[in-house]
């Protein structure tokens, strides 16, 4: 079964989380620890690649290369942020072709105006509903594999309100989106409104579990009880890395630049080499040299 088909199969099973990964190692860790799918966030990519906030600073090709590197490191389906499609309708068509080429199985296209921002930042703007519908239809027309999953995202809750967000997602469902996603609902009541009013479309509804934003902090079971089908855990691995590495460096420098002072905070050299596949690669090299 292809990774694209695997993602669609996941949606027919129990609820699941797409675990955020900001590089090959975090994708490999997510797979090792039992995640069912990977999520590649634009917020995280902006920080990792450019060291800047998510204000649409990355180009289409920068994001493509970032996604491709992560897809190479895992066998799991990869859900990759596509921002606003990086331009007009023709740019949206190129975006979906590139994301498929990179190895992703899912993307979400959002209805923000340029410059787009993280969904949990202030002062977002949205494009007219008709513009987003045209982009979405263009993207769906350019899709190569019918199993590739296209999620329509709206950022309208903070801009024009929950009613407009629901109306927009209904229009996007009718335009052919495979899944629906309203970013940054601000209460459990708004979450219930989304699922109650959109469930008749028969499209899986996504929730963003980002724990530092505007939305309620809920478990997967609680998200399921509210009618959502799956969720993202997009930024927590990045934040965990930021805290852990910062603490390690602080202790190292404070203790006279001694690696002994931070030994209990690190994976061993041998353990890490086993994790990234050194024994297998060495064995393969030896076999190929023998056969040669």
Placement of tokens 């002994």 in the chain: 260
Note whether 41 and 20 are within 8 A (CB).
Answer: yes
Q: What is the DSSP letter of 116?
A: P
Delimit the domains of the chain by residue range.
3-234, 255-291
Tokens describing residue 22? 């900001």
In the block, tokens 């910062």 appear at 246
Name beta bridge partners: 96.
none
Q: How far apart are CA 230 and CA 250, in angstroms?
A: 38
User: How is 46-59 classified by DSSP, letter by letter?
Assistant: IIIIISS-SSS-S-
pLDDT for position 123? 74
Sign of the CA dihedral running 281, 241, 119, 115? negative
DSSP lists the bridge partners of residue 108 as 81, 151
List all residues 6 or more positions away from 53 whose beta carbon is below 8 Å from its beta carbon.
46, 47, 117, 118, 121
| Regions of the chain where pLDDT drops below 50 | none
Distance, in Å, from the CA atom of 173 to the CA atom of 241, rounded to the nearest integer, reads 37
Helix 89-102 vs helix 60-72: crossing angle, to nearest 10: 20
pLDDT at 119: 62
Stated pTM of the model: 0.95
Q: What is the pLDDT of residue 110?
A: 97
157, 163, 164, 167: CA torsion to nearest 10: 120
Backbone angles phi, psi at 146, to 5 degrees: -60, -15
pLDDT reported for residue 116: 82
Phi, psi of 51 (to 5 degrees): 65, 35
The CATH number of the domain covering residues in 3-234: 3.20.20.60
DSSP annotation string for 212-276? TSSS----HHHHHHTT--EEEE-SHHHHHHHHHHHHHHHHHHHTTS-GGGGGGGS--HHHHHHHT
129-142 and 89-102 helices, crossing angle to 10°: 40
């Amino acid at each position: 079964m292809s990774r694209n088909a695997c993602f669609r199969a996941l949606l027919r099973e129990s609820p699941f989380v797409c675990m955020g990964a900001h590089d090959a190692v975090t994708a490999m860790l997510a797979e090792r620890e039992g995640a069912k799918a990977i999520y590649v966030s634009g917020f995280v990519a902006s920080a990792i690649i450019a060291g800047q906030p998510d204000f649409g600073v990355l180009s289409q090709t920068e994001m493509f290369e970032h996604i491709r590197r992560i897809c190479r490191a895992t066998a799991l389906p990869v859900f990759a942020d596509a921002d606003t499609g990086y331009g007009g309708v023709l740019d949206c068509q190129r975006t979906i072709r590139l994301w498929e080429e990179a190895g992703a199985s899912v993307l979400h296209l959002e209805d923000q105006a340029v410059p787009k921002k993280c969904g949990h930042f202030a002062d977002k703007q949205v494009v007219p509903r008709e513009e987003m519908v045209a982009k979405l239809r263009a993207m769906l027309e350019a899709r190569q594999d019918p199993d590739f999953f296209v999620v329509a995202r709206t950022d309208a809750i903070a801009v024009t309100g929950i009613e407009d967000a629901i109306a927009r997602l209904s229009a996007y469902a009718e335009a052919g989106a495979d899944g629906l996603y309203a970013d940054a609902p601000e209460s459990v009541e708004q979450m219930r409104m989304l699922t109650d009013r959109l469930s008749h479309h028969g499209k899986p509804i996504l929730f963003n579990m980002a724990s530092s934003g505007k939305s309620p902090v809920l478990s997967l079971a609680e998200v399921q009880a509210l009618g959502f089908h799956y969720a993202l855990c997009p930024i927590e691995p990045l934040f965990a890395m930021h805290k852990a590495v910062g603490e390690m460096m602080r202790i190292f420098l404070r203790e006279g630049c001694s690696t002994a002072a931070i030994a209990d905070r690190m994976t061993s050299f041998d353990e890490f080499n086993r994790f990234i596949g050194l024994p297998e690669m060495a064995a393969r090299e030896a076999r190929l040299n023998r056969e040669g």
